[in-house]
């Protein structure tokens, strides 16, 4: 199976975590696109979705799934999203699609984060994938210096403006051995909107697609 087929496989598997009549939290990315399509095809009638991006909103609406504002809900049972990397504790790097800020906001509303990913995303230590950080543009130079002190090289993602009007730094060369401490530290640097380490809002479940089918990891 190629990577696209694995994404479709886990997208379909994630529908089992959605209950009819529920409001579901929906992430962003090509794997989530597969989930949205599978949900629409499944006949599981949800009451609506809280979406983490304009991209997912458009796809949900195209399928006739109602999109609610995050302010319209007090909580969500489940949030389904992909990841750029996930480790053996359910800690993730996210933001390859530049949607990390809204993803973290919607994930924070949910009782359970179900990560859907192909097996290439499972890593021992986070940091090989360039770490996305949404920032206020004015802080770019200072934040680049701060990451350099941690051994990272930050590059501005050219031509990208997020749904919130922010910019993205992609940081290479990091080895994130303590994701909770790293997230807490970087999150309080002035000019950081959201760091793409999801440790406080980690996954509780990962549906990992590989040659043998879908493996369910519980954290
Ligand atoms: O964090 C994300 C978007 O901001 C995505 O979940 C992540 O980039 C994975 O994307 P894909 O499913 O396309 O591989």
- Domain spans of the chain? 3-122+200-218, 131-196
DSSP structure class, residue 137: G
**Could you tell me the distance, in angstroms and rounded to a whole number, from the CA of residue 81 to the centre of ligand 1?**
8
ipTM over 0.85: yes
- Cα–Cα distance measured from residue 78 to residue 22, given in angstroms and rounded to the nearest whole number: 9
Query: Which 3 state secondary structure label does DSSP give 31?
Result: helix
Long-range contacts of the stretch 56-63 (C-beta < 8 A, 24+): 56/26, 56/27, 56/28, 56/32, 56/99, 59/33, 60/26, 60/36, 63/36, 63/37, 63/39
Over residues 65-119, the pLDDT tens digits come to 999 999 999 999 999 999 999 999 999 999 999 999 999 999 999 999 999 999 9
Point out the catalytic residue in the list 103, 111, 134, 153.
Answer: 103
Binding site annotation covers 121?
yes
pTM: 0.96
Residue 118 in contact with ligand 1 by CB distance below 6 A? no
Active site residue 183: no
CATH topology for the 3-122+200-218 domain: Rossmann fold (3.40.50)
Q: Is the CB of 30 under 6 A from ligand 1?
A: yes
Residue 130 CB less than 6 A away from ligand 1: no
Task: Give dist(CA 57, CA 50) in Å, integer.
Answer: 8
CATH superfamily label, 131-196? ACT domain (3.30.70.260)
**Is there a binding annotation on residue 112?**
no
Kindly report, residue by residue over 141-186, the tens digit of the pLDDT. 999 999 999 999 999 999 999 999 999 999 999 999 999 999 999 9
């Amino acid at each position: 199976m190629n990577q696209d087929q694995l994404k479709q496989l886990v997208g379909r598997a994630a529908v089992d975590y959605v209950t009819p009549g529920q409001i579901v939290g929906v992430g962003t990315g090509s794997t989530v696109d597969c989930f949205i399509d599978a949900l629409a095809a499944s006949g599981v009638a949800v009451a609506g979705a809280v979406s983490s991006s304009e991209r997912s909103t458009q796809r949900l609406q195209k399928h006739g799934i109602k999109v609610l504002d995050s302010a319209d809900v007090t909580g969500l049972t489940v949030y389904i999203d992909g990841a750029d990397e996930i480790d053996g504790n359910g800690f993730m790097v996210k933001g390859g699609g530049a949607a990390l800020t809204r993803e973290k906001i919607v994930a924070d509303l949910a009782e359970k984060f179900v990560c859907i990913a192909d097996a290439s995303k499972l890593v021992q230590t986070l940091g090989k994938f360039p770490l996305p950080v949404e920032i206020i543009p004015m802080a770019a130079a200072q934040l680049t210096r701060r990451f350099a002190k941690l051994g990272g090289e930050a590059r501005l993602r050219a031509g990208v403006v997020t749904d919130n009007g922010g910019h993205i730094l992609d940081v290479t060369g990091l080895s994130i051995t303590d994701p909770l401490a790293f997230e807490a530290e970087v999150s309080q640097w002035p000019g950081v909107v959201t760091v793409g380490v999801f440790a406080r809002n980690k996954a509780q479940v990962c549906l990992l697609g590989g040659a043998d089918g879908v493996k369910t990891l519980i954290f």
